Amino acid sequence: MTHSLSDEARGVLSPGILLLPDHILDFIERHGVSHGVYGWWFDHRLPLVPRNGCIERDGKHLLYIGIAPPKNRPVRRSGPTPVKSRLWQNHLRGTVRSSTLRHSLAALLAQELELAFWRDQRNRVRMDRHHEDKLSDWIAKHAAISVVQHDEPWSLEETLIRNGPPLPLNLSMSGHPFRSTLSNLRRALGRN
């Protein structure tokens, strides 16, 4: 499949190297990645997620694709680049409220990591910092990332989600059969 894809798509689906979370900031800086598409690869310690047809590399499967910045979102002139902000501040060190990926991982790992959830006044799922840190530690041990520069990442994201390999953790634009299971697990958080 990757033989007919653009270089940017190949960089996410078949990267030269999978980056450990602790190395992502250095890679982004060295390669000048400001806007782009990234893939999240996970080992077999992520329960329930079907991996049939998913791309595998180095003992990890590509399960999620994301972008930074989102379409029609203004980019701040100061501060970190959209990719750096999204990967580091939201996905790696953020909260379940600020990251769809963290929210999904928390739903899948709730029992294993003994995570506790609550809902705020707007009915949004929350965890205290201790539980967010447990999730961050799990991600650091069991995930890897691929990332490429792309000035209009939303166009590549849609192509990959709709026409690329199975991506069971993507909810938006996804027709993956695991979508309803994952959505139900996410909706159940903090409702006990």
Q: Could you read off the pLDDT of 144-187 as tens digits, one per residue?
A: 999 999 988 998 999 999 888 999 999 999 999 999 999 999 99
Can you give the residue ranges of every domain in the chain? 2-188
Could you identify the residue written with the tokens 């520069």?
Answer: 149
pLDDT of 55 higher than 50: yes
Q: How far is CA 154 from CA 68, 69, 134, 171, in A?
A: 8, 8, 31, 15
Residue 32 main-chain phi, psi, to 5 deg: 60, 40
The reported pTM is: 0.91
| Pair of tokens at residue 147 | 């990332």
